[in-house]
């Protein structure tokens, strides 16, 4: 099982970012981000505070049990909560067609968009996943219409096969966001593409 590969998530600092585990103090930042319609454009709806609080509690419990859960991205200078980006084991009530898996995912506040922050953090966690956790594959998925995230997946060297596209099991069949695309990155391809990363 993939769970046996998971170890604790380290705190990582770069010139401009701190990548770390979830803490209690992150709740307000998560609430604000999840209530922003720009951030939630490709999700069913914005999230009220109660739902974000439940999400925060779930992420805290998940990182305790599994080692990590889409770690926090924080501005190193100001300490501002910028969102999250990193590795995660999906645990939806209904299984994904490609379970079990480890995904790399991200969600950032609009002020952090267009600055390469998600790409910088994702590269760090992909490297950690393949080189430290010794994963064989990491996936990423999003709605068919979320072209911004798909472009980032492509820049990370991930590849899509249209045969892997799927309807998200947690959405109704007629929901406008139900169709999702799956991108994959295996260890061999990572070793090749990561050599081109600055």
The domain limits of the chain are 9-196
Exposed e or buried b per residue across 120-140, where buried means at least 16 C-beta atoms within 10 angstroms of its C-beta: bbbbbbbebbbeebebebbbb
What residue spans of the chain are helical by DSSP H? 27-34, 49-66, 117-127, 147-155, 187-193
Looking at domain 9-196, its CATH superfamily turns out to be Gcn5-related N-acetyltransferase (GNAT) (3.40.630.30)
- Whole-structure pTM value: 0.93
Strand, coil or helix: 16: coil
Per-position pLDDT tens, the chain of length 198: 344 444 468 899 999 999 999 999 999 999 999 999 999 999 999 999 999 999 999 999 999 988 889 999 999 999 999 999 999 999 999 999 999 999 999 999 999 999 999 999 999 999 999 999 999 999 999 999 999 999 999 999 999 999 999 999 999 999 999 999 999 999 999 999 999 886
Q: Which of 95, 126, 9 is nearest to 60 (CA)?
A: 9
Structure letter (DSSP) for residue 129: I
Backbone angles phi, psi at 30, to 5 degrees: -65, -40
Q: Which of 113, 23, 112, 36 is nearest to 69 (CA)?
A: 23
Backbone angles phi, psi at 82, to 5 degrees: -105, -15
């Amino acid at each position: 099982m993939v769970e046996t590969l998971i170890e604790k998530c380290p705190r990582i600092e770069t010139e401009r970012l701190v990548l770390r585990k979830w803490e209690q103090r992150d709740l307000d930042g998560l609430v604000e981000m999840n209530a922003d319609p720009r951030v939630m454009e490709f999700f069913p709806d914005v999230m009220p505070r109660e739902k974000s609080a439940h999400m925060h509690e779930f992420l805290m419990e998940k990182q305790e049990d599994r080692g990590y859960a889409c770690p926090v991205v924080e501005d190193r200078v100001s300490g501002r909560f910028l969102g999250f980006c990193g590795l995660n084991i999906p645990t939806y009530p209904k299984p994904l067609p490609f379970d079990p898996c480890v995904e790399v995912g991200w969600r950032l506040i609009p002020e952090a968009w267009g600055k390469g922050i998600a790409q910088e953090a994702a590269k760090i966690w992909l490297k950690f996943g393949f080189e430290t956790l010794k994963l064989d594959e990491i996936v990423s998925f999003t709605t068919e219409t979320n072209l911004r995230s798909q472009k980032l997946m492509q820049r990370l060297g991930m590849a899509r096969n249209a045969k892997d596209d799927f309807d998200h099991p947690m959405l109704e069949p007629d929901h406008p966001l139900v169709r999702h695309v799956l991108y994959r990155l295996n260890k061999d391809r990572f070793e090749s593409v990561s050599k081109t990363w600055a």
